[in-house]
Amino acid sequence: MYHEESQIQIACVRWFYYQHRDLEGLLFAVPNGGRRGKVEAGIMKAEGVYAGVADLLLLVPRGPFHGLAIEMKTAKGRLSDSQKEWAKKVLKQGYEYVVCRSVDDFIEQVEYYLSR
């Protein structure tokens, strides 16, 4: 099955590590999404999985921000209520939060963030 959002994210991560090898390991995915059985979902929740957390985190401080949270969406994708609430929480804590809908969008947002 083709997952458009996943394909965009894979391309973004590949681009990032090609362009920013010095930041290896500081951009990483948060495996919150996907379908799981009740047992596995319960285990993951107990381990700390939290609804709404962004798809990618970049743990590099820039300007007034501690790091960058990146939510990947397709052109038509919409944020869930839990994603909106999580975004508000991290913004209050001094992190930047962006939604990227394409590789070009990701490149623009990341380069802007890193240039601060």
CATH value at residue 64: 3.40.1350.10
Secondary-structure percent of the chain, ordered helix, strand, coil, rounded to 5: 45, 15, 40
Find out whether 96 and 65 touch, Cβ atoms under 8 Å. yes
Average pLDDT over residues 94-98: 98
Number of domains in the chain: 1
- Taking CA atoms, 108 is separated from 33, 40, 65, 113, in Å, by 24, 36, 17, 9
Domain that holds residue 15: 4-114
Question: Is the pLDDT confidence value at 21 over 80?
Answer: yes
The chain-wide mean pLDDT, for the chain, equals: 93
Average pLDDT over residues 89-114: 98
At residue 56's C-alpha, the angle toward residues 34 and 41, to 5°, is 30
- The SS3 call for residue 19 is helix
Q: How confident is the model at residue 1 (pLDDT cuts 50, 70, 90)?
A: very low
pLDDT above 90 covers a percentage of the chain that reads 79
Looking at residue 80, what is its pLDDT?
Answer: 96
Q: pTM to 2 decimals?
A: 0.92
Looking at residue 33, what is its pLDDT?
Answer: 67
